[in-house]
Chains A and B, each alone.
Chain A
Amino acid sequence: MTRTIVPIGPYHPLQEEPEFFTLTVEGETVVDIDLKLGYNHRGIEKLSEGKVYDQAIFVVERVCGICSTSHPFAYTQALEDLASVEAPPRARFIRTIIAEGERIHSHLLWLGLAGHFLGYNTVFMWSWKLREEILDVMEILSGNRNNYAMFKVGGVRRDIQSEDIPEVLRKIDSIVPTLEKLRKAIMEDPVLHARTKGIGVLSREAAVDYCAVGPTARASGVARDIRKHCSYGAYEEISWQMIVAHNGDVFDKLLVRIKELFESINIIRACLSGLPDGEIDCRVTDIPPGEGIGHIEAPRGECFHYVRSDGTNRPVRHKIRAPTYMNLPTYKSTVVGETISDAAIILAAIDPCYCCTERIAVLDDKGQKLHSGKQLLDLSRQKTEQLRARFGV
């Protein structure tokens, strides 16, 4: 049987680099994949070494736009670990609120993209419209829709005014009914079940071997969530649940993320109602020599920062490891054996954040460009149409 090489085109509608992965295909089944990174590499670890600790927070915020709070959060945890200080309670609660707000916006973004790949453009428009409400909430709390710049070593930079809280709660309450409707529509759709159940299964052993993190791992039964196990922020002081599923297929990844959305809403409500009074900054004056590690649960998994300092006010080494770095290699294990019309949605289920991973490109071996990215997306949508016809929907 002849093997053909199929480069997958732009995964993110946002990224337009021509190719991403090279799939080797026999007939319709994917046999092997090859991935090459490098298009988003901006040398942030080296940049960090030239900056003062306070400036490095802003560099680190721009590692990724979608998880733009996770990196400063982990970085400030690392510095606080170094300096052996702890942020005051009010600061910890505010940090948790911002982090959960980011989780909601990231999962809604993902939901829209997943819908887009399956051909459900209405889901895309609806979830991004809901997302606007959350971005409004973040704008009320921090002043900006995306790069919040709320974190600082030892606390947060801005306080939450109590007169803003009713407005925030009102906005959050206003999206819950629509979210419920969306959730029902998605969960009860037979075509969606047919498209996502049993597809792209990541077994528990593979998840452990690849050291996958976040919803990708939790959908395969690996019950690990940094928020539960490693106390940071306010997660220990409020009650919330970790969501785990066991089949490891695309449907479970979808389920885990949607349930996490609702949990995050509850966490924000609990934090806002239980917000303690007090200082928001513990005023760290200098960073002693030593090393610090900070890790937190970003929307995609565990974000890990390691900082080594020698007593001056610039870091000697700042290592950043984003969650997608561990999750992306699992694509190899999940897509081999599946058909190419499912390749796009299996990739989407990992929720890759390429700018965090430092980007993807392609190896175009024989110059055989059989399908462009757009055509692969179209293949995926055609399959949905066929299933729709079959189910009479």
Chain B
Amino acid sequence: MGLLDDAFLKSLWVFHLATGSCNNCDIEALDCLTPRHDIERFGMLLTGSIKHADVLLVTGAVNRQCIPRIKNIYEQMPKPRLVAAIGECALSRGIFIHSYNCPMPLDHVIPVDVYIPGCPPKPEAIIAGLVKLIERRKTNKLTEKV
């Protein structure tokens, strides 16, 4: 399985999903593609289709309307798949914890592999979080996480 791991981790394609966010984390995630931080040199590309993605980047306090769509998208993602929660809202809904339209945090909807805190996390923090994810995968071997 060593070859598969290596191939997988060398070039992770990310799919970005915003679920009721204020767009700050989304912009910082997109900033990673721009010339200053440029994650494309690491092989990470933003894809338009979930079927090509390896990592699902989720931002936003999970909105009631988005919950069925998040589950749908997660199911469509081909294995091996990883989920990264970016920003306070994706971790635990942050300041929107009492909102009537945000019933539960993200990890009650889909399993999350890496949590990147911040409001918004700087692009350096996002890159550091993804690197941690890669490191952990390397030491843990590629088993299907529950």
Contacts and interface: CB of A to CB of B under 8 A. Distances in A.
Interface of A: 12-18, 38-44, 46-47, 50, 58-59, 62-66, 68, 109, 125, 128-129, 131-132, 145-147, 353-355, 359, 361, 374
Interface string B68-105: 01000000000000000000000000111011111000
Interface string B45-82: 01011000000000011010110010000000000000
A38 B67 CA distance: 13
Given A14-B18, A128-B34, A146-B120, 17 more contacts: A14-B26, A16-B16, A38-B65, A39-B20, A39-B65, A40-B60, A41-B101, A42-B20, A42-B61, A42-B102, A43-B102, A65-B21, A65-B22, A66-B23, A131-B34, A147-B24, A361-B65
Contact of A17 (B25, B69, B100): B69
A40 B21 contact: yes
A264 B71 CA distance: 44
A63 B22 contact: yes
Interface of B: 15-31, 34-36, 46, 48-49, 60-61, 63, 65-66, 69, 94-96, 98-102, 119-120, 122
A58 B20 contact: no
B20 A109 contact: no
B95 A13 contact: no
Contacts, number: 112
Contact of B96 (A14, A15, A17, A42): A42
Q: Sort A-B residue pairs by CB-CB distance and give the 10 closest, nearest first.
A: A65-B24, A14-B26, A43-B99, A128-B34, A65-B23, A65-B22, A129-B35, A43-B101, A62-B22, A374-B48
A184 B78 CA distance: 46
Contacts of A59: 95
Nearest to A149: B119
Chain B CB within 10 Å — which of A13, A16, A44 has the most?
A: A16
Given A18-B69, A47-B98, A59-B95, A129 B36 contact: yes
Contacts of A38: 65
Contact of B30 (A14, A43, A68): A14
Contacts of A44: 99
A101 B24 CA distance: 16
A128 B31 CA distance: 8
A174 B17 CA distance: 35
A64 B22 contact: yes
Contacts of A64: 22-23
Contacts of B36: 129, 132
A145 B124 CA distance: 12
A353 B61 contact: no
Contacts of A47: 95-96, 98-99
A74 B69 CA distance: 34
Chain A CB within 10 Å — which of B35, B61, B119 has the most?
A: B119
